[in-house]
Amino acid sequence: MDIEKMESALAKFIDLMNINDLTELEVTEGESSIRLKKGSDIVASPPTTIVNTASDAVASDTQAIQALELTSESATESSLIEIPSPLVGTFYRAPSPDSDPFVEAGDDVDNDTVLCIVEAMKVMNEIKSEVEGRIVEILVENGQSVEFGQGLFIINPS
Amino acid sequence: MLSRILIANRGEIAVRIIRACKEMGVQTVAVYSEADRESAHVGMADEAICIGPPPAGESYLNTANIIAAAEVADVDAIHPGYGFLAENSQFAEICASCNIDFIGPSPESMTLLGDKERAREIAQSAGVSILPGNDEPLTDDADALTLAHKIGFPVIIKAAAGGGGRGMRVARNDPSLINSINIARAEAQAAFKDSTIYIEKYLEDARHIEIQLLADKHGNIVHLGERDCTLQRRHQKLVEESPSPAIGPRLREEMGEAAIAIAKASNYSNAGTVEFLLDQEGKFYFIEMNCRVQVEHPVTEMVTGIDIVLEQFRVANGNPLAFTQDDIQLNGVAIECRINAEDPNNNFKPDPNRITKWYQPGGRGVRIDTHSYSGMVVSPYYDSLVAKLIVHRPTRAECIIAMKCALDEFDIRGIKTTIPLYQEIFGHTRFIRGLVNTTFIEDHFTR
């Protein structure tokens, strides 16, 4: 894997996405592929654009994009959903300091399950799951400051 | 002593403010929308917090997220820049209630001067001339027609909650007056959530002259001379210069005193600018007061040697002004061009694209205020300003030549810019001779 070529190709891919307002881009050559997703709303659906590479030359437009290798990602992992913070504030795992956390890793959740609180300007905002599935990972710690779009939970949707 | 500041803005002004903070040794917190992740101001600050998706309404105008960011980052103060929340008195009030200093005037001054009709009243009671217009709020179309006939066409219709040259319409006869009022009301409602409009006599053949003020919290107010911003397109400034070719020492003193009187009458503190129209007889009329640092502040900085943003922080810290009116001198001439990502040959259509090359001019007396760089994508979500080019020379003639050279040197590829328009303006006889009015661009450069 040639890091410099990868960096330059990645820069070109990111430009391609920005200029064409893409949210997803997948490039495959042979058995290698790379997939880029914008923003936090990762949806388990087929990618928006698939480009098959033809040669080594890196072009500014669509075809002939350099092949890259990707650290292996299983099919199941790539369908995981990240729940982003819709607010800037402080993340709390429980309704109050003495209570149990709303959820733990491994819990099953549905659309209405409250996952956490993000406190902003003294207002405790309950963040709901909005997907059905199982919590795989909790990305932030209790009391941590979070920004807009920052990943809070990883859920394996059912 | 303010030691940690959040900059509630983006683009070139965020860069400008962060620079001033760095020189003061003050910590900086940048906020950015998802569209501005790669923005220059984000990398420059000590800390950066994402406050929302690209649309301004959900990010740079999102009071809740910005205040939350200020709280999690534990800042002492917020500098609002210009535009966005800079003249939003509610935002200033919320800052105060959250114990966060707002780098600007008090919410009360902002409320007074933000209502453009009230601002006219304040000016009038301070002894400053205002243009003929409605003394009472307008009730209906008949009322408006009577007023227009009394003051005489043409008239200009403006949003009372507006400013910054937005939501203005000129009417020259009865039918166009009624039509324009209805459109102006709708535009005002959409842009400012307030459909109140007022009418003024429209001065043809006038110059736009504004006076920069600095006021501390101890009652001291000083003016830093004028800026001539006559060259505009659709009420948006294109070129600004100081001193004005139309202003001599006596008029400067008169206008400066008038501006200070208005600031005093509204208990103003921090930086502000009072805008006037100057007619062909040398008579000036108050238009509005802007309660913020302005886009074109570098022009005044070059000729006075005063760092206006630094002074804003010093005032916010409670320091008295370090200079008196007698200390203020205008040295040489400075001119600014606002370089926008727009196509001057296609009705100024915005060109939000990726900059593939950025080579900016430099040298003695050449200043570029920008956030742009080669590889940057100009965002479609915000205004199209990519850079401000300011040139300072001992005389206006030298300044114009130097500006032409700087414009020629400025090489921007990948986006259309308004540089070609300025190259034409700076070669135009009328501009070179200082003989322009507010319709100059429309008259000579419409395509």
Q: Is the pLDDT of residue A76 over 70?
A: no
Lowest mean pLDDT across A26-30, A82-86, B331-335, B365-369: A26-30
Closest CB to A148 among B50, B73, B354: B50
| Interface contact A120-B64, CB threshold 8 A | yes
Q: Is B65 in the A-facing interface, judged by CB distances under 8 Å?
A: yes
Does B145 map to a domain?
yes
CA closest to B354 among chain A residues: A19
Greater pLDDT, A154 or B446? A154
pLDDT tens track for B305-353: 999 999 999 999 999 999 999 999 999 999 999 999 999 999 999 999 9
- Which site among B29, B47, B63, B65 would you substitute to test the A interface, given the most A Cβ atoms closer than 10 Å to its Cβ? B65
What distance in Å separates the CA atoms of residue B64 and residue B66, rounded to the nearest whole number? 6
Q: How many domains does chain B have?
A: 3
Lowest mean pLDDT across A55-59, A82-86, B362-366: A55-59
Q: Is the pLDDT of residue B28 over 90?
A: yes
Lookup result for tokens 């070719």:
B245
What distance in Å separates the CA atoms of residue B202 and residue B133, rounded to the nearest whole number? 10
| ipTM reported for the complex, 2 dp | 0.80
Q: Is there a single domain that holds both residue B139 and residue B228? A: no
Q: Is there a single domain that holds both residue B324 and residue B227? A: yes
Strands B207-215 and B270-278, sheet pairing: antiparallel
Class assignment of domain A81-157? mainly beta
Closest CB to B65 among A87, A145, A150: A87
pLDDT tens track for B56-74: 999 999 999 999 999 999 9
Q: Which amino acid is at B331?
A: N
Does B120 map to a domain?
no
Lowest mean pLDDT across B16-20, B47-51, B177-181, B290-294: B177-181
- B292 a catalytic residue: yes
Given the residues B10, B252, B292, B396, the one annotated as active site = B292
State the nearest Cα–Cα gap between A113 and chain B, in angstroms.
24
Q: Tell me which residue of B436, B389, B424, B432 sits closest to B208, measured CA to CA.
A: B436
Q: Where are the domains of chain A?
A: 3-79, 81-157
Q: Is there a single domain that holds both residue B46 and residue B63? A: yes
Residues contacting A102, CB < 8 A, separation 6+: A93, A94, A95, A113, A114, A115, A116, A117
Please report, for the domain that includes residue B14, its CATH number: 3.40.50.20
> What is the domain extent for residue B33?
4-103
Q: Is there a single domain that holds both residue B196 and residue B272? A: no
pLDDT tier at A10 (50, 70, 90 boundaries)?
Answer: confident
Residues contacting A8, CB < 8 A, separation 6+: A58, A66
Q: Is there a single domain that holds both residue B148 and residue B277? A: no
pLDDT for res A30: 66
Strands A81-84 and A151-157, sheet pairing: antiparallel
pLDDT for res B366: 98
State the nearest Cα–Cα gap between B70 and chain A, in angstroms.
10
Q: Is there a single domain that holds both residue B211 and residue B348? A: yes
Show the DSSP H helices in chain A as ranges: 3-20
State the nearest Cα–Cα gap between A40 and chain B, in angstroms.
10
pLDDT for res B258: 98
Domain end call among B184, B201, B218? B201
Domain end call among B201, B216, B247? B201
Q: Is there a single domain that holds both residue B196 and residue B213? A: no
Does B117 map to a domain?
no
Backbone angles phi, psi at A59, to 5 degrees: -110, 160
Whole-Å CA distances, B304 to B298, B333, B392: 10, 10, 11
Residues of A in contact with B35 (CB under 8 A): none
| Interface contact A89-B51, CB threshold 8 A | no
For B271, other C-beta atoms within 10 Å of its C-beta total: 25
Q: Is there a single domain that holds both residue B58 and residue B181? A: no
Please report, for the domain that includes residue B358, its CATH number: 3.30.470.20
- Token representation of residue B17: 């403010």
What H or E segment, with its residue span, contains residue B182?
helix B174-192
The pTM (predicted TM-score) of the whole model is: 0.84
Q: Is there a single domain that holds both residue B232 and residue B373? A: yes
pLDDT tier at A23 (50, 70, 90 boundaries)?
Answer: confident
Domain end call among B201, B216, B248? B201
| Interface contact A149-B71, CB threshold 8 A | no
CB B360 within 8 A of CB B298: no
Does B115 map to a domain?
no
Strand order in the sheet with B77-79: B47-52, B27-33, B4-7, B77-79, B101-102
pLDDT for res A2: 60
Q: Is there a single domain that holds both residue B425 and residue B359? A: yes
Largest CA distance in chain B: 59
Q: Which residues pair with A145 in a beta bridge?
A: A90
Q: Tell me which residue of B251, B287, B264, B223 sits closest to B126, measured CA to CA.
A: B264
Does B333 map to a domain?
yes
